């Protein structure tokens, strides 16, 4: 998008000789969403959730009509072929596809409008915060464009202190979920492309200098020393800062420097967070002009040789893949209730880890998982066919990485940053881009495991050969394999052989499984074409057999918890637009394979 816009602007500029100043004014106006302040829920906020007026714009003509100006007739001959008044209303947060039948499969532009009242105060700043908008968001305030954001799964904000009016204001958001070839994800992905303002929207009022960011987690490899920082935003950069943990009677004092940054290092006899004991401490971060509180846990996670260690002890990762979809509503999940629904099922299955695929899920999901004692695997939508040769892609990846880690770095529940999924084949562009991304991730946060998920293995003569170039940059050898479904067994599962290029690294089966339509008995259970539970169950039985042959196996993660929507799954009887590899149907029915895994996790 940005590249075409630039090409168009350059053409106008050079052809029509538009004055340079105007050119730069347009550039300035194309401001990217700012990286959001963290922990918005504990801020002084006014929610803009609720009903928003919308204009559905299948042709995209709204851009040409300049919908954001909301022109009104001035004289008798005037008329304008759009208006927010009298049109449909959509709920925010929420995807638009599940809210209106005519939008069921819609990929295009929907214009959203919300009015709010504000009293301007001279010593206050104001921010417009979005939890997530899928995919492209162009944001306008009172008819003026304030910026854009690309990417459907991470937060962004705009400072509107100098733009907001005393009294009634109107926010208009042009939301477009059209797939982008050089997007993240790209054109093809096996999940439903829910569009809309899918997470919270809020006005956040702060003082002139506020606590923008902080990082309070254990130092890598330590069990009781915190190494962190606090970042202030505003003119009064140098301030006293206190970190208070009342339950531990801990009060740590420090100062920010002229950049508003304070480094933190303090120790305490923390009760460490673990699935058995998901201990969180209420922490107050206080400066002279602001204070925020958070519930933070402390745990160490690392790889030592072929083992994954949590708090210094080896742990087997009993995981399941989860898409951010409320199966009962067939809608994008976002609320605490949605999170509890999905996570309770994972708990019931016996999991200690949830792989949240293939994009950062909502803060509600991460925080609920942490409270429930579920470790979290958070992943970027660098999924399968990514245009690594496109010069805009690396900065998009980096932008999403920054936003993901910034929002969630204080969540001790998160143990893995997963930077890509199935980006095979290995090309120079791919490897260069992903190696760079890995380095950036390490700079941002080296206290967690960093992983690239692969499916590049060779499986011949009942032997797996693992040699992806990305393993070198990955803390786990993470494999997606669908032996028994997409690929038939080539021998007894219990005789499977393994050739690992990195025999000293832990191996994690990040995806395996097969499809079944709950209750399907349209044909013999030993034939795939009838989507029977018996066929899926057999796949699981065989996979568990094979798991006993894997050296350094540190965990397994069935694909996946619930059947979920994916438009490419088109069999009219067995799939109906659903990927049916769930252990649970979209109504929560337990398939036979569910009991196989539950028993397996129960023994582990």
Residues that bind ligand GCU (CB under 6 A): 190, 358, 421-422, 455, 480, 511, 559, 579, 581
Using the minimum distance from each CB to ligand GCU, give the nearer residue, 131 or 513. 513
Using the minimum distance from each CB to ligand GCU, give the nearer residue, 33 or 185. 185
Q: What is the DSSP pairing of strand 281-287 with strand 240-245?
A: antiparallel
Q: Considering only CA atoms, which of 372, 307, 352 is closest in space to residue 551? A: 307
Q: Considering only CA atoms, which of 50, 135, 148, 47 is closest in space to residue 97? A: 135
* Cα atoms found within 13 Å of the Cα of residue 31, Cβ hemisphere only: 17
Using the minimum distance from each CB to ligand GCU, give the nearer residue, 407 or 581. 581
Which residues on neighbouring strands pair with residue 56, listed in sequence order? 110
User: In whole angstroms, what is the distance from residue 571 CA to residue 592 CA?
Assistant: 21
Least distance (Å) between residue 27 CB and ligand GCU: 37
Which residues on neighbouring strands pair with residue 18, listed in sequence order? none
Q: What is the DSSP letter of 595?
A: H
Q: Considering only CA atoms, which of 342, 308, 604, 324 is closest in space to residue 477? A: 308
Per DSSP, helices labelled H in 322-460 are 336-349, 363-372, 393-408, 428-444
Using the minimum distance from each CB to ligand GCU, give the nearer residue, 57 or 190. 190
Helices (H) and strands (E) in the chain, counts: 9, 35
Q: What angle do CA 384, 390, 392 make, to 5 degrees?
A: 105
Least distance (Å) between residue 300 CB and ligand GCU: 29
Three-state DSSP state, 15 = helix
Using the minimum distance from each CB to ligand GCU, give the nearer residue, 57 or 511. 511
Q: For residue 362, what is the enclosing H or E element?
A: none
Least distance (Å) between residue 111 CB and ligand GCU: 31
Using the minimum distance from each CB to ligand GCU, give the nearer residue, 169 or 455. 455
Using the minimum distance from each CB to ligand GCU, give the nearer residue, 109 or 510. 510
User: In whole angstroms, what is the distance from residue 288 CA to residue 213 CA?
Assistant: 15
Using the minimum distance from each CB to ligand GCU, give the nearer residue, 146 or 550. 550
Least distance (Å) between residue 354 CB and ligand GCU: 15
Three-state DSSP state, 436 = helix
Using the minimum distance from each CB to ligand GCU, give the nearer residue, 43 or 580. 580
User: In whole angstroms, what is the distance from residue 308 CA to residue 148 CA?
Assistant: 40
Question: Whose CB is nearest to ligand GCU?
Answer: 190
Using the minimum distance from each CB to ligand GCU, give the nearer residue, 211 or 516. 516
Q: What is the DSSP letter of 219?
A: P
Q: Considering only CA atoms, which of 141, 155, 136 is closest in space to residue 37? A: 155
Which residues on neighbouring strands pair with residue 319, listed in sequence order? 353
Which residues on neighbouring strands pair with residue 47, listed in sequence order? 202
Least distance (Å) between residue 216 CB and ligand GCU: 33
Least distance (Å) between residue 561 CB and ligand GCU: 12
Least distance (Å) between residue 190 CB and ligand GCU: 4
Burial of 17 (0-12, 13-18, 19+ CB in 10 A): exposed
Least distance (Å) between residue 510 CB and ligand GCU: 8
Least distance (Å) between residue 6 CB and ligand GCU: 32
Using the minimum distance from each CB to ligand GCU, give the nearer residue, 232 or 322. 322
Using the minimum distance from each CB to ligand GCU, give the nearer residue, 471 or 559. 559
User: In whole angstroms, what is the distance from residue 493 CA to residue 504 CA?
Assistant: 23
User: In whole angstroms, what is the distance from residue 282 CA to residue 302 CA?
Assistant: 25
Least distance (Å) between residue 54 CB and ligand GCU: 30
Least distance (Å) between residue 509 CB and ligand GCU: 11
B/e letters for 391-414, b = 16+ CB within 10 Å, e = fewer, are eebbebbbbbbebbbbbbbbbbbb
Using the minimum distance from each CB to ligand GCU, give the nearer residue, 370 or 515. 515
Least distance (Å) between residue 581 CB and ligand GCU: 5
Least distance (Å) between residue 531 CB and ligand GCU: 13
All residues at 6 or more sequence positions from 121 whose CB lies less than 8 Å from its CB, including other chains: 205
Query: What is the number of other CB atoms lying within 10 angstroms of the CB of residue 487?
Result: 10
């Amino acid at each position: 998008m940005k590249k075409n816009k630039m090409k168009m602007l350059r053409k106008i500029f050079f052809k029509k000789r538009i004055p340079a100043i105007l050119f730069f004014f347009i550039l300035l106006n194309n401001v990217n969403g700012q990286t959001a302040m963290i922990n918005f829920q504990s801020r002084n906020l006014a929610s803009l959730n609720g009903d928003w007026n919308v204009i559905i714009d299948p042709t995209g003509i709204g851009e040409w009509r300049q919908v954001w100006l909301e022109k009104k007739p001035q004289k008798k001959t005037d008329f304008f072929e759009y208006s927010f008044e009298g049109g449909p209303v959509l709920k925010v947060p929420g995807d638009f596809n599940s809210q209106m039948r005519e939008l069921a499969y819609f990929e295009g532009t929907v214009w959203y409008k919300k009015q709010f009242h504000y009293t301007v105060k001279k010593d206050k700043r104001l921010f417009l915060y979005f939890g997530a908008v899928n995919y492209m968001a162009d944001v306008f305030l009172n008819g003026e464009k304030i910026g854009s954001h690309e990417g459907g799964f991470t937060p962004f904000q705009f400072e509107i202190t100098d733009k907001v009016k005393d009294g009634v204001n109107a926010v208009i958001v042009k939301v477009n979920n059209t797939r982008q070839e050089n997007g993240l994800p790209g054109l093809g992905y096996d999940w439903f492309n829910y569009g809309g303002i899918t997470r919270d929207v809020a006005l956040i009022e702060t003082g002139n200098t506020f606590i923008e960011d902080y990082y309070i987690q254990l130092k890598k490899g330590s069990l009781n020393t915190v190494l962190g920082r606090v970042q202030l935003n505003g003119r009064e950069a140098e301030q006293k800062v206190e970190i208070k943990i009342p339950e531990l009677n801990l009060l740590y004092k420090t100062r920010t420097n002229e950049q508003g940054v304070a480094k933190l290092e303090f120790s305490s006899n923390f009760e460490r967070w673990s699935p058995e004991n998901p201990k969180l401490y209420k922490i107050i971060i206080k400066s002279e002009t602001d204070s925020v509180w958070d519930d933070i846990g402390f745990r160490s996670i690392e790889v030592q040789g072929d083992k994954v260690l949590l708090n210094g002890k080896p742990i087997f990762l009993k995981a399941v893949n989860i898409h951010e979809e409320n199966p009962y509503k067939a809608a994008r999940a976002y609320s605490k209730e949605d999170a509890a629904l999905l996570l309770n099922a994972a708990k019931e299955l016996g999991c200690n880890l949830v792989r949240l695929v293939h994009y950062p899920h909502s803060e509600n999901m991460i925080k609920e998982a942490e409270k429930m004692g579920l470790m979290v695997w958070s992943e970027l939508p660098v999924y399968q066919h990514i245009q690594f040769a496109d010069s805009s892609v690396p900065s998009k990846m980096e932008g999403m990485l920054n936003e993901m880690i910034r929002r969630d770095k204080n969540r001790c529940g998160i143990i893995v940053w997963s930077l890509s999924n199935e980006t095979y084949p290995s090309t120079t562009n791919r490897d260069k881009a992903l190696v760079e991304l890995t380095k950036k991730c390490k700079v941002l946060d080296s206290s967690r495991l960093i992983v690239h998920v692969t499916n590049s293995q060779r499986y011949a003569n009942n032997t797996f050969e693992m040699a992806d170039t990305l393993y070198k940059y990955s803390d786990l050898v993470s494999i997606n394999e669908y032996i028994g479904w997409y690929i038939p067994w080539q021998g007894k599962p219990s005789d499977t052989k393994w050739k690992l290029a990195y025999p000293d690294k832990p191996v994690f089966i990040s995806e395996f499984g097969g499809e079944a339509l709950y209750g399907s008995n349209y044909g013999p259970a030993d034939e795939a074409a009838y989507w029977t539970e018996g066929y899926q169950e057999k796949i699981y039985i065989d996979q568990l057999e094979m798991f006993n042959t894997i050296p350094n196996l540190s965990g397994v993660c069935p694909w996946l918890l619930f059947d979920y929507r994916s438009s490419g799954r088109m069999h009219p009887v067995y799939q109906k637009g659903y990927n049916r590899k769930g252990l649970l149907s979209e109504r929560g029915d337990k398939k036979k394979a569910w009991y196989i895994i539950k028993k397996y996790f129960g023994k582990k």
